[in-house]
A and B are shown apart, each in its own frame.
Chain A
Amino acid sequence: MAIDSARGAPDVHELDDPELIQLLTPEGERVEHPDYPLELTPDEVRGLYRDLVIVRRIDREAVALTRQGELGLWASLLGQEAAQIGSGRALGEHDMAFPTYREHGVAWCRDVDPLKLLGLFRGVNNGGWDPAEHNFHLYTIVIGSQTLHATGYAMGVQRDGVLGTPNAGATIAYFGDGATSQGDVNESFVFASVFNAPIVFFCQNNQWAISEPLEKQSRIPLYRRAQGYGFPGLRVDGNDVFACLAVTRKALEAARTGQGPTLIEAYTYRMGAHTTTDDPTRYRLKAEEEAWKLKDPIERVKAYLVRNDLADNAFFEEIEAEAKQVAADLRKGCLAMPDPGPMDMFAHVYAEAHPLMTEEQEQFAAYLASFKEVSS
């Protein structure tokens, strides 16, 4: 018996939803929104364009490195650059970000060397940077787990008594549309709500959780879930870097001043595969990808710059060249990245001595050494 699971379900997309916040159309036209005034200098717009182009180039290089066997896997951000750069550039010095494994653009905004992102995907470590140094936590692979860490961290900021002071920091938790079905994400909404934690939940709804479309996760638009938890939720055009910047800025400031959590649904599209091992041709139509290409997050900024005479060809060429250089450096660094030694797996399991593990470590070292003795 066929079950009509969609019967009575409202449209989860509501593309013409009047609540979609947009400040820059796909054609590069600036639109005003009464709640989100945004003043950007030409330099700032050019800076955003540079960020977008460079992170896309980093992403492309990482995909290529995977195809060539240098990385075991890569989770591409293609199509989501505006959501990540917009929100990432909204972050202040004291704000803390908790990413998934796809937030390469946010990592760029937090000054994490792109090379360090590759460690996890190359298999040389499980996360190669110090989160405190960048206020950017490690990539988290289990879907949604980090939203609870972010909420706890925000509860810590609250307890530090810094909210409302210049040292106030908000916490931002990144996750995707699929994650919204996870218990942890829903529990983080509950905790954040009842404790009024200074946190922004930034959901990049890229329409696909590997092969499952949004309809498999929700019967209502995701941003509307916030209402049930008792805090504001809003949907922003996730391919509009201006809107993502303005909306995230406002939500972060609300958090810093003790006004509690906000859910932002950045409505975007995963242009590539889920990861390099995925094959989207098995579950979605090319026509859908083509339609989203017209909403490209970079092209609209370029159109805006050109339309307003804020950049010339020389500028675009300069950015291309810089992106190319970043990619070349990334490739070079990746190929030179040393494999860890066999003893490294024991190095950071415990902060204090653990006799049983140490015993195994010593036995394994002796075992490995025995081969050297034989060969010599």
Chain B
Amino acid sequence: MTTETLTLGKALNAGLRKAMENDPKVLVMGEDVGKLGGVFRVTDGLQKDFGEERVIDTPLAESGIVGTAIGLALRGYRPVVEIQFDGFVFPAADQIITQLAKMRMRSLGALSLPVVVRIPCGGGIGAVEHHSESPEAYFTHTAGLRVVACSNPSDAYTMIQQSIASPDPVIFFEPKRRYWDKAPVDVSAAPESWTPLHRARVVQQGDDVTVLAYGPMVKTCLEAAAAAAEEGRSLEVIDLRSLNPLDIDAVVASVERTGRCVVVHEAPVFSGYGAELAARITERCFYRLEAPVLRVGGFSTPYPPSRLEDHYLPDLDRVLDAVDRTFAW
């Protein structure tokens, strides 16, 4: 076993590099992904090693980036597109939703679009407007896309490679405030031994309450679980990893056991991904629930100026507050 301690950003870089080594059709494209290595340095060094034809600094036009990636995929390439920040994906939303997601059905299965759209997401880095958003629900609502979110270096390394290998388009969310988190990554494990892309993972076992999270909130929930343990309360934390498809069986298995569930995400609660989770858990676990599924997330406001983001973003205390409330029933 070869283990390297990598930041989440470096793990993505290593995963991209591996995918490019394994398949000459894999391309990386986006704004500043070449010489600069991306604003978060996720593509650092790739252009130097794989050339400008495979690591493409594109014009500053998100729709153009995704639209031309679709064309490249039609020609047999596997483009990995970087959207520089979550709030900049919207100019590309048309190409993603009306073209990327629907081409396979439109062609009666003749065409596959193995395109990965990487989106650094979420807040917590003190950024200006449009740099801290969580747009996942727009994409989980779109049939034809697969939507995943990594939360740690090890998953970042494997999930990016699995997403590139997928014949379906994948929207790949990266928790930008966790880019610098370090952890050991087994870079020698055979892909067959990796957790499948669309499988959830129990990252903290517990008996009292199931806490569901993905991306940046997994760490927050693990911290909440540690704090709760000190008070004698046992939280089971599940990292969903894949939002569409959702590993509902893993969720149900846990909630059936605990009878309580709290869903945590940074995106606004109203019509957020947590609403889908709450509805499905209610349908599947109705007689086992001791309390309604509670949601912790952003408010029904635009993402606030960064001096306020600590109030907006779910933190350990807000997660524990919701956990406490599940015992009020």
Binding site for B on A (CB under 8 A): 125-132, 137-138, 140, 142, 145, 147-157, 159-160, 183-184, 187-188, 190-191, 194, 347-352, 354-357
Which chain B residue has the least Cβ–Cβ distance from A190? B59
**B245 x A155 contact (CB < 8 A):** no
How many Å from the CB of B61 to the closest CB on chain A? 4
User: Can you show 26 pairs from A to B with CB atoms below 8 A apart?
Assistant: A127-B107, A130-B110, A145-B67, A145-B94, A145-B99, A148-B64, A148-B66, A148-B70, A148-B95, A151-B64, A151-B71, A153-B74, A156-B72, A156-B76, A159-B53, A183-B61, A184-B63, A188-B64, A188-B67, A191-B61, A191-B64, A348-B108, A348-B109, A349-B144, A351-B112, A355-B248
A contact residues around B248 at 8 Å (CB) = 355-356
CA distance A3 to B185 in the complex (A): 65
CA distance A190 to B76 in the complex (A): 23
The 6 closest A-B pairs by CB, nearest first: A152-B71, A148-B67, A156-B75, A152-B68, A187-B64, A351-B167
B130 contacts the other chain (CB 8 A): no
**B166 x A152 contact (CB < 8 A):** no
B22 contacts the other chain (CB 8 A): no
**B104 x A348 contact (CB < 8 A):** yes
**B105 x A126 contact (CB < 8 A):** yes
How many Å from the CB of B111 to the closest CB on chain A? 7
B contact residues around A149 at 8 Å (CB) = 67-68, 70-71, 74, 99
Which chain B residue has the least Cβ–Cβ distance from A173? B71
The answer to whether residues A352 and B67 also contact, given A137-B74, A347-B109 and a CB cut-off of 8 A, is no
CA distance A300 to B95 in the complex (A): 41
How many Å from the CB of A180 to the closest CB on chain B? 15
How many Å from the CB of A168 to the closest CB on chain B? 13
B168 contacts the other chain (CB 8 A): yes
The answer to whether residues A126 and B104 also contact, given A349-B144, A351-B167, A351-B168 and a CB cut-off of 8 A, is no
**A150 x B71 contact (CB < 8 A):** yes
How many Å from the CB of B323 to the closest CB on chain A? 28
A contact residues around B72 at 8 Å (CB) = 152-153, 155-156, 159
**B75 x A152 contact (CB < 8 A):** yes
**B143 x A357 contact (CB < 8 A):** yes
CA distance A193 to B142 in the complex (A): 32
**B144 x A152 contact (CB < 8 A):** no
Interface residue ranges of B57-113 to A (CB < 8 Å): 58-59, 61, 63-64, 66-77, 91, 94-95, 98-99, 102-112
Q: Which of B53, B70, B104, B111 contacts A152 (CB 8 A)?
A: B70
CA distance A350 to B147 in the complex (A): 13
Binding site for A on B (CB under 8 A): 27, 53-54, 58-59, 61, 63-64, 66-77, 91, 94-95, 98-99, 102-112, 143-144, 146, 166-168, 198, 244-246, 248
**B74 x A156 contact (CB < 8 A):** yes
B contact residues around A183 at 8 Å (CB) = 61, 63, 91
Which chain B residue has the least Cβ–Cβ distance from A154? B71
**B75 x A160 contact (CB < 8 A):** yes
CA distance A183 to B62 in the complex (A): 11
**A131 x B107 contact (CB < 8 A):** yes
CA distance A149 to B58 in the complex (A): 15
**A142 x B168 contact (CB < 8 A):** no
How many Å from the CB of A152 to the closest CB on chain B? 2
B contact residues around A153 at 8 Å (CB) = 71-72, 74-75
A contact residues around B110 at 8 Å (CB) = 129-132
Q: Which of B64, B71, B166, B244 contacts A356 (CB 8 A)?
A: B244
**A352 x B166 contact (CB < 8 A):** yes
CA distance A200 to B168 in the complex (A): 29
**B71 x A156 contact (CB < 8 A):** yes
**B77 x A159 contact (CB < 8 A):** yes
How many Å from the CB of A252 to the closest CB on chain B? 17
Q: Which of A137, A154, A356 has the most CB of B within 10 A?
A: A356
**B70 x A127 contact (CB < 8 A):** no
**B63 x A152 contact (CB < 8 A):** no
Q: A138-B107, A159-B77 are in contact. List 18 more A-B contacts (CB 8 A).
A: A128-B108, A130-B110, A138-B106, A142-B98, A145-B95, A147-B67, A149-B74, A152-B67, A153-B74, A155-B71, A183-B63, A183-B91, A184-B64, A187-B63, A190-B64, A350-B168, A351-B167, A355-B248
Which chain A residue has the least Cβ–Cβ distance from B62? A187
The answer to whether residues A142 and B99 also contact, given A348-B104, A350-B168 and a CB cut-off of 8 A, is yes
B contact residues around A184 at 8 Å (CB) = 63-64, 67, 94-95
How many Å from the CB of A182 to the closest CB on chain B? 9
**B168 x A352 contact (CB < 8 A):** yes
CA distance A156 to B68 in the complex (A): 9
CA distance A129 to B106 in the complex (A): 9
Which chain A residue has the least Cβ–Cβ distance from B70? A149
**A187 x B74 contact (CB < 8 A):** no
Q: Which of A128, A190, A351 contacts B104 (CB 8 A)?
A: A351
B contact residues around A155 at 8 Å (CB) = 68, 71-72, 75
The answer to whether residues A126 and B74 also contact, given A187-B64, A188-B67, A349-B143 and a CB cut-off of 8 A, is no
The answer to whether residues A187 and B143 also contact, given A127-B106, A351-B168 and a CB cut-off of 8 A, is no
Q: Which of A131, A156, A355 has the most CB of B within 10 A?
A: A156
A contact residues around B75 at 8 Å (CB) = 152-153, 155-157, 159-160
How many Å from the CB of A358 to the closest CB on chain B? 9
How many Å from the CB of A74 to the closest CB on chain B? 18
